[in-house]
Structure 1
Amino acid sequence: MKRAVVVIISLIVLFMHPDPGFTQSAHKLEKLKIVIIRHGEKPPQGDNLNCQGLNRAMQLPAVIYAKFGIPDYVYVPELGLGESTQHARMFQTVLPLAAKYNLTVNTVHQERDSVQVAADFKAKKGTILMVWEHKAIASIVRSLGVDDKNLRWPDSDFDSIWIITFPKGVPTLTKDKQGLKPSADCHF
């Protein structure tokens, strides 16, 4: 008799929560915050930051720390080696923050690997800082589950911050600004 009651209660609980994994996943995602910025300003030609972009990179640690604390993870696209280092700007942008707080910069993903990037991020908890190429950001945000067909990062915008959180497991995008106006001069 006792065994029958336990079985019945177990079945009731099972049918009330048809996907117990979802509840655990949603709870884990609630502890995830993804902070997305674009690399700093760039010259018309070349793979590096210009002086304004470098000055932005030097000011970013204070902004990121004030708004989000020290990130648990930092990601930039795979750098690439050889004569062309197209993703150097993202690494250069985050380098002052990484140096100041002794952070590892993860370069494992290709710029357009939106599905793999999203899967990697969803397996984590804490704060992730992603510094990426602006034309590839919307695809990653959609792969994270944000349902917005009009996502676009303007070519002239180096100051935006996109933040994805997961209240009750639902991806939610909010937007903020760094509030920086870095000098275009190189004083070094």
Structure 2
Amino acid sequence: MPNTLVMIIRHAEKPVLGGADFGVTEQGESDPASLTVRGWQRAGGLCSFFSKPPAPMEKPASIVASGTVKKDGSGTRSKRPSQTITPLARRLGLQPDVTYSKGQEALAAEAIRIAPTPVLVSWQHESIPGLAAALVGGAGIAPESWPDEDFDSIWVLQNDGADVWSFSRQSQGLLDGDG
């Protein structure tokens, strides 16, 4: 396997059941499957961040996002992973791969391994540890959970070309309260 850099983010902010924030589409229409206004602010901030990211990260050559229809049996739909990276993908002129969704982490990991590197991935937080484990060939390198309230982290997985993976956690630091 050649040197590989994979940067994984959780989709941006979502509506909270019973909360004051609600989801909106890119056109501003109410939609519970979409990002909140704060989530759209984060998505916009990611454009600048990933255009010239700090080391060890690099500008993405490809982007993978969880598809809208979840394959984990939950039956729910979420546009948030793809909405989170849409502004950045447009800026970079990249077509995101949204072939796989929550519940298909092993298949997504296979696609990530062969995607042009560096790869940026936007996924649902509860499934990111499974995705990371599938990508690196087992648990123990990345954390086993992603905190519910964490929209700021970036998990950075690097393969040195000899199939040895390393992990680091970086902060986006884009919005008030991040870090």
The TM-score bracket by the shorter chain reads 0.7 to 0.9
- Say yes or no: does 1:49 pair with 2:46: no
TM-score (norm 1): 0.74
Quick check: 1:35–1:162 contact (8 Å CA) kept in 2?
A: yes
Quick check: 1:55–1:182 contact (8 Å CA) kept in 2?
A: no
Instruction: Please report how far the alpha carbon of residue 176 of structure 1 lies from its aligned counterpart in structure 2 after TM superposition.
Output: 0.3
Higher helix share: 1
Equivalent residues in 2 for 1:15-94, closer than 5 Å: 25=1, 28=2, 30=3, 32-45=4-17, 46-67=32-53, 68-80=57-69, 86-94=77-85
Count of matched residue pairs: 153
- Cross-structure match for 1:120: 111
Partners of 1:161 and 1:150 lie apart in 2 by 12
Identity of aligned residues (%): 26
Task: Specify the SS of the correspondent of 1:181.
Answer: coil
Which has the greater radius of gyration?
A: 1
Quick check: 1:163–1:175 contact (8 Å CA) kept in 2?
A: yes
State the one-letter code of the partner of 2:171: K
Per-residue Cα deviation, 1:21-51 (whole angstroms, up to 9, x for no partner): xxxx3xx1x2x11110011111124211111
Instruction: Please report how far the alpha carbon of residue 125 of structure 1 lies from its aligned counterpart in structure 2 after TM superposition.
Output: 4.2
Partners of 1:96 and 1:165 lie apart in 2 by 25
Partners of 1:44 and 1:56 lie apart in 2 by 17
Quick check: 1:53–1:182 contact (8 Å CA) kept in 2?
A: no
Instruction: Please report how far the alpha carbon of residue 124 of structure 1 lies from its aligned counterpart in structure 2 after TM superposition.
Output: 3.4
Partners of 1:59 and 1:89 lie apart in 2 by 15
- Cross-structure match for 2:139: 147
Instruction: Please report how far the alpha carbon of residue 171 of structure 1 lies from its aligned counterpart in structure 2 after TM superposition.
Output: 1.5
- Cross-structure match for 1:134: 125
Instruction: Please report how far the alpha carbon of residue 150 of structure 1 lies from its aligned counterpart in structure 2 after TM superposition.
Output: 4.5
Task: Specify the SS of the correspondent of 1:169.
Answer: coil
CA RMSD between the two structures: 2.2
